[in-house]
Every structure is written in C-alpha cells, then in structure tokens.
Structure 1
C-alpha cells in the first residue's frame, strides 16, 4: 500500500490516510457565523477522501478575527451555525473534522484578500482596534495594537478555553491551535513583535509562556480523549526573528504538556520576510521537528503532486501532508492521488459509479450492479 494511504494515529485519533486538508480562511461568515457558503464549501471538501479536514482559522473572540468575514466560535450563534454545517458533513461524509482556533492579534481588522487585504483602521467603518504582545504595528503606516495587560491575557486565555468547550459540544474530532503566520500567539513568540519587559517577554522561555498557557487552557477545556495540536511557523525568514531552533524547543515543551502533533509552516510575522519559495520549501522544517521532538508532524507548503506527498511520508520527513490551495483547485485530489499511487480511498456510495473502469478497486467498499 502507498505510504500516503496508510493510517495515521494523532493521539487517540486514527486517520484513514496521511492527507490533511489544511485550514483555509473563506472570509465569508457573518458576525463569525457560517452560512450557506460554508455548507457548500466544506461539504465538497468533506467528500474528498482526505483523512482529516481542518476548519479554517476560527476566532476565539470577535476582536481576534482577521477580517469581518472570519469564522468565529465565541457566541451561541456561531456554535449553532457550525452545528448545522457539521451535522450535514457527518451524515454524508466519511472524514474526521478538526477546527483551528486562533486570534489575529495585530493582524486583525483587515479587508478580504479580494479587496486588497489592507488593514481597516479602528476609525474607519467596520474597523476595530487590535491587540498584541507589544504596541508595535505589523507594517509601517498601520495602526498600532494595544499591548495586552494582565486582564487582557486572562481574557484571551479564557476565550480560547471557551471556544474549546464549544468545540467539544460540537463533537469536533480535534483542535489545532494557530500559533503561526504572524497571528497573536506567534506575535508573543517572535522577538520581532514581542518587546515586553515582563514575564511574557525577553527570553525564549518568557516569550513561549503565553502560547503554552493557551495550550494548557485549551487542552484542559477540550474533550480528554480527543487530540489538541499546534500549528507553528518554523521561521520568520527575517534575521533575528523566530527560528527553527526555537520551534524545536517550543515543540518539546508542547510535547511534555500532551500536544498530539505539530503542523509546521513558516513566516507571516513581518513584511520584511524573505522566503525562498519553491516546491516542498517548508518540508525540511517538519523533518527537523519530527527528528528532534518525536511528535507526529504535518508538512505543508507547495506540495501539489501525489508523488511529492508520497515521497515526504515514505522518506520519514513528515507523518502527514496538508494541502490547501491544491485542494481548492482539485477537491478530488485524494481520489486522483489514490488512482496514481495504486491505493484505495473512501468515497460516498452515490459516487461509486464514477470510478473509471481501469481502477477496479479505487473506492474502498464499492460494489457495482448494472450500469
């Protein structure tokens, strides 16, 4: 069997294969609540045959949304909207579903990408003030956030825990905490964005303190027999910023606290980043975390071909591969990968008759009558 289609254990959760649909913001919620777009969007992805679907970055408080259209899990309306979508997915799709909980910090109050993605200042219609580790704007000319004080830190921690309790009520299979891409927890980790002089700034241990507190709060609030893991940016791609050595150190601390996996990405905290883009450009970071920490790792970043994903898993560079834009372009990517690699994939029986004749056993459990 292709290594890409072998089962994977993430804590107590067993995935049917190593293909993960990475979280992708849709900027299409209303006051944090999903609507018909999410029903259609998540429905098609849930039928893809991937082993795991991670819901897009979901804000734990309204102030923590990247944009006014971001998904949230901070209100009863948010929870009810997600329950509607997840109910349809569970009835019809053979896939595990997790959620990525996050807080945008100083990168909050932005326009959607198709509207340019620029910050909406708090003085503009629809804008609001951001918060961060320090009162430093993300980019020159942007409005500076407020540095979180002790009360603010408590509020955000509890917001993460409250969202985790909602996720447990929704029956989600796992939680990924968003500690990457320049959002709030990453802002605490990076010396480029964290210039505090208290117990949450300065040394590596101090800069890791708040993200670890958030992990502990989420782990305590979520269902004990379901996994919690973290997505990290392995490097800021800026000299003097967060780096892979710090990522390994944080991952070891997370492992000691019961973290089930590390989803390894990079960048996002500074517009000064200089990224060496290319196929599989982030895979070496996942490989190092896997080798030095021993947790299951998920690799991501310009993985587009089935042979690439299979080689990553077969060589031991990572335990799973996440796809995002490639899945938007081809929502049946796992089917096509299984066909290329001689594997089987789960598919709803309504679609079994679409199996090409040359791939007799492509769909697991498929049985055909007259055509």
Structure 2
C-alpha cells in the first residue's frame, strides 16, 4: 500500500488521497464589465483536467474577497452572485469526479493592482484598470510599487468581514474546504512580519499584536463555515529575513494559536514578503518547515515546494514529514501526475472517469 494514496479525514470530510493541487493564479478572468472576476471556460477546463487526472483535493487559486483585494484585475473574486455561480460549475464537476473542491480566499494588500505576469506584472494605476493598494503600514513592496494606503482599524475589521462573506459564498458554490491566504507577502502575511508591519496600535509591534488580524479573520470565517468542514491556512514559514523578519519559530507559535481557533491544517510555504531575497531552493526545500510545525504543535500540515517525483512525495507522507503534499508547477506540466504516481508506487487504480477506463 502507498501512504500517498491513503484517504485523509479532516473533521467529517474524507479526501480520497494525499496528492493535492496548490492554489496557482491563472490571471484569466474578465477584468471589466458585468462578469468581472468571474470564472470562465479557461478555469473550468484547467481545474477539470486535474480532477480527471486523479488529484484528491484541488484548491482554486487566490480569490479576492473584494475588488481591491485582488492581485490583478484579472483575478477571480467572490463578492457577488455572478462569481458564486461561475465557481459552482467548477465545484460541481470536481465533486462529480471524486475530487474534493477547495478554494483559497485572499487579500493582496500592498501587492495588489498589478498586471498579468506575461505582460510584465508591473503595478497598475487607476488609469489602467488598477487602484491604490492598502496595507498595514505605508510600506511599498519595492521601489516600483506605490506607497499603499494605511488601513484604519475600522477598515481592518471590515476586511475580516469580507473574508467571512466570501467563505459563505464558497459554501453556497459547493466548496468543501476553504483556505485563508496568509502567505507570500499578501495582506495577512504583511501584518505578521515586522518587515512590513510598522504599526504602533493593537495590530502592530508585539507578536500577539501582529497575529491579531490573522486570528480575527480565522474567527470570522469559522462563524460562517460549517463545524463539520475543515479550514486551512497558508503561511510563509519564513520571509527569509531572519532574524529581523517573520521566522520559523514565529510560525510554530502561530500554528498553535490557529489550531485553538479552529484551523485544521497548515499549508506551509515561504517567502514573498520582500524582493530580491536569497532563497536556497532545491527539491523539497520547504518540507522541513512543515515537519517542524507538525512535530511541535500536532497540527496537520501540507508540504509544498519542488515536490515533483512520486517516490519523493511518498517518502514525505510515509515518513510523517507532512500529512499531504501540494503540487503546483508539476501539475501544470502533468495534469495526470497522480495516476502516474499511483502506477509507479503500486497503489492500484485511482478512481477516475469511466470514459478513461480502457487506459487503466
């Protein structure tokens, strides 16, 4: 038997295997008009291919909880009925294929309002589909980004409510997992790190103050998300600015608090909060961060980052380094990677479309 293809149960939800798809923005939703930020045919085809490929859980890309919370004008959003309906089509199909549909809810903070990556990814102003970003402090991401608006306490609390409203819509759309995006230098991650959070009120300064917003978002989402369904949280374990930034030890402390507030699994990534940072990448380079959180807090974790081979993924799960693996670019290259992994690991048949039965 393969540990990678054992079911994973969180609360009342059973995910059929431990090969999961990490959220990856597609920057392919309409940027203007009545269907702004609504999932279309590209999103359906993209996610459907990974579901028919045997992925156990698919986490849809960072989905803005407000227009100003999107990374780009072409990001998905979840603040109106049209967006809810567009996502329902995808969630329903994933469910039909035996894949658990999940969605990542996000606010981009000071990194909002940028162009699509293949068009350079530069910041966009109000004269080019863009807007002025907001952040914990008036600290731009880099010299090319504008100085963001410093959020007031009232605006911070309003954004926590927007996360809850989007989670409620996600449930209506048929999603069974919600992940709160607290990583990669977006708004929640900006609050966590002293590099980007220079506030002197109840949301800045000490560790307890800097994690306050993250916990308020979790609490707001948990009030509307069903008790029997799991809630995930994505974190950058380090912003690679130690000892002056967010550290792995900070992540362990946060993980223990998140568990107390109703988070069921930590999706452990790293980086993204500062430009031009030296990161020692390599196969599975972020896995030790996930392992440390799991061993020191007991909170289930998913590992991500240059996990590309079936044997590598099997070792991570079988060895107790993580409870699941989240694949990103590898699933872009190979939508049916889970089926290949099952064959190579001798895991037997992975449930899939009857139409493809002759290829089993």
Give the TM-score range, shorter chain: over 0.9
Contact 1:120 1:127 in 2 (8 A): yes
1:328 aligns with 2:328: no
Matched residue SS, 1:117? coil
2:351 to 346, 355, 358: 346
Counterpart secondary structure, 1:267: coil
The answer to whether the aligner puts 1:301 opposite 2:300 as a matched pair is no
Asked whether the equivalents of residues 238 and 272 of structure 1 are also in contact (C-alpha less than 8 Å), the reply is no
Cα displacement (A) at 1:292: 0.6
The partner residue of 2:198 within 195, 208, 213 is 195
| Residue 136 of structure 1: aligned partner | 139
**Alpha-carbon RMSD:** 1.0
Q: Give, in whole Å, the separation in 2 of the partners of 1:270 and 1:13.
A: 36
Superposition deviation, residue 183 in structure 1: 0.5
Aligned equivalents of 1:288 and 1:218: distance in 2?
Answer: 26
Residue 314 of structure 1, CA deviation: 1.2
Mapping of 1:1-371 within 5 angstroms? 1-30=1-30, 31-91=36-96, 93-122=97-126, 124-239=127-242, 240-344=244-348, 345-355=350-360
The 8 Å contact of residues 48 and 335 in structure 1, kept in 2 or not, is answered as yes
> 2 CA distance for matches of 1:199 and 1:72?
29
Q: Which moved more, 1:218-227 or 1:296-305?
A: 218-227
Q: 2-side partners of 1:169 and 1:302: how far apart?
A: 34
Deviations 1:323-358 (A, max 9, x none): 011001000000000000000311111101012xxx
List structure 1 segments (4+ residues) > 4 angstroms apart after TM superposition: none
Greater CA drift, 28-37 or 262-271: 28-37
Aligned residues: 353
Specify the structure having the higher radius of gyration (Cα).
1
Aligned to 1:359: none
Task: Give the superposition deviation at 1:303.
Answer: 0.4
SS in 2 for 1:231: strand
Distance 2:225 2:281 in 1: 36
Flag structure 1 segments of 5+ consecutive residues without an equivalent.
356-371
Under a length normalisation based on structure 2, what TM-score does the superposition of the two structures give? 0.96
1:85 positional shift: 2.6
Residue 121 of structure 1: how far off its partner (Å): 2.7
Alignment gaps of 5+ in structure 2? 31-35
Q: Distance in 2 between matches of 1:200 and 1:88?
A: 41
2:92–2:174 Cα contact (<8 Å) kept: no
| Alpha-carbon contact 2:44-2:90 (below 8 Å) kept | yes
CA drift of 1:108 comes to 0.4
In the alignment, is the contact (CA less than 8 A) between 2:10 and 2:229 conserved in 1? no
Give TM-score scaled by structure 1 length. 0.93
